[in-house]
Amino acid sequence: MEKILIVEDDKALSNGIALALKAEGYLFLQAQDLAGARETLKQQEISLVILDLNLPDGNGLTLLSEIREKQEIPIVILTANDLETEIVTGLELGADDYITKPFSLMVLRARINAQMRKMRRGGLQVYQAGKFYFSFSSMEFIKENQRIELSKTEQKLLKLLVENRGLTLSRGELVDRIWTDGAQYVDENALSVTVKRLRDKLEDNPSAPRYIKTVYGIGYTWSDERTGGMQRGSHG
């Protein structure tokens, strides 16, 4: 389920937003200040942020900048000020949309759904969990603050695995989706080699992988701290 973080110090408004969007099937997390929002972003995988700019412990633009340094998730800013300068600054810092208070919850819902549709069309662009930070849009891959160089094939494999974390992808499906132009000519051993190279770069102990796991007789799955309990299989 896609998670939306609402950063708004007015609890009644925050609850109203969550209620208005409830029928869309999102899971809502709420924070009343910058500190709470930062903590939630560290612990949860968020699909979209609704961000008020006037918060008790600072300006929401600060958090907007922090998020944009690491992630490309959609951000919709809320402002009580119909000031061009604040709106322009927010958009220049990377906000995807804005809405000024007071606003119609129907309009907000339409704008949020539009952002979510755009995000789904683009597929996963940023993955962040535990020691890993992967930005597929900027081709930046980091483990424990160390940059990792991945080949195009390794990037494709990694993206497929983390996009489908919690699911097992068959070897045949992976070959078809990684080598789209000539899958029929690819030796199946090419996938095993790519998996091994990716494990060598990402795993602490490649011979006993914790993240890229083999599901015997089927294929591979990505396991992290949040999905580990859902996975089957072990290394291979």
**In a domain? residue 71:** yes
Which residues of the chain are under the pLDDT cut of 70? Answer: 81-82, 121-124, 181-186, 188, 225-236
pLDDT of residue 56: 94
| Residue pointed to by tokens 């790519």 | 194
Pick the last residue of a domain from 122, 140, 172: 122
Question: What pTM, to 2 d.p., does this model score?
Answer: 0.56
Last residue of a domain, one of 94, 122, 150: 122
Chain centroid, CA 131 distance in Å: 15
Question: In total, how many domains does the chain have?
Answer: 2
Find how far residue 216's CA is from the centre of its chain.
28
Would you say residue 142 lies in a domain? yes
Burial 86-116 (b: 16+ CB within 10 A, else e): bbebbeeeebbbbbeeeeeeeebeebbeebb
What is the residue range of 169's domain? 126-230
pLDDT at 26: 86
Let me know whether 86 and 51 are in one domain. Answer: yes
Residues 166 and 90 grouped into a single domain = no
Say whether 78 sits in a helix, a strand or coil.
strand
Task: Examine the domain organization and report whether 14 and 107 are in the same domain.
Answer: yes
Give the pLDDT confidence score for residue 81 in this predicted structure.
Answer: 66
Q: Name 94's Cβ contacts closer than 8 Å, sequence gap at least 6.
A: 64, 65, 67, 68, 75
Burial environment of residue 83 by CB neighbours within 10 A (0 to 12, 13 to 18, 19 or more): exposed
On whether residue 175 sits in a domain, the answer given is yes
The answer to whether residue 197 is domain-embedded is yes
pLDDT at 215: 93
